[in-house]
Amino acid sequence: MGANDIQATFKEQDADNIFKALTTGGQKEQPDKYNTSKLLEILTIRTLGPALSASQKPKIILNTLTPGFCHSALMRSARFPLNVAAYIGKLILARSTEKGSRTLVAAASAGEESHGCYMVDCKVREPSAWVRSEKGMETQKRVYGELMEILERIKPGITGNI
């Protein structure tokens, strides 16, 4: 994964148990855990969407999105020097929260063309090249399988609702 490909380093991708590996690390790893959580969302929806389509359950449209880099309080607990970099970055690059919210509204009102897809700037877009790569697709299957096992341990039979 190159820096231009995805924002998460996702070093846990090769662990025996991805979700267990995600529980390790301290405060300094929190920014990457945030990025990784967004990547896991994309990987999960890319499998869950088609699974829902194949089921006999009532149809729903499931998608994932990014509002982009917006003014928010997300970095309020960041420490130096990340807090300074985030402040300067927001001044130069961030869009308003209103503009960022447009993709949320677009995703909520999107039709079947968005089902199981990733939306950016109010349009369905391809996720990173890594997500679409062989390694990404293999990791996607692992993430989905592990997540289903976790959910079954919490509430046996829950995955039968898909």
Tokens describing residue 156: 């046996």
Among 33, 38, 90, 99, the active-site one is 38
Active site residue 34: yes
**What whole-number distance in Å separates Cα of residue 128 and Cα of residue 52?**
23
Q: Are strands 123-125 and 64-66 parallel, antiparallel or unpaired?
A: unpaired
Instruction: List the beta bridge partners of residue 119.
Output: 65, 124
For this structure, is 38 an active site residue? yes
Distances in whole angstroms, Cα of residue 118 to Cα of each of 20, 71, 84, 126, 131: 26, 22, 30, 7, 11
For 75, the token pair is 């970095």
Candidates 40, 48, 44; CA nearest to 6 is 40
Write down the catalytic residue from 11, 33, 34, 99.
34
Contact 125, 65 (CB under 8 A): no
Q: Hey, which residues are catalytic here?
A: 34, 38
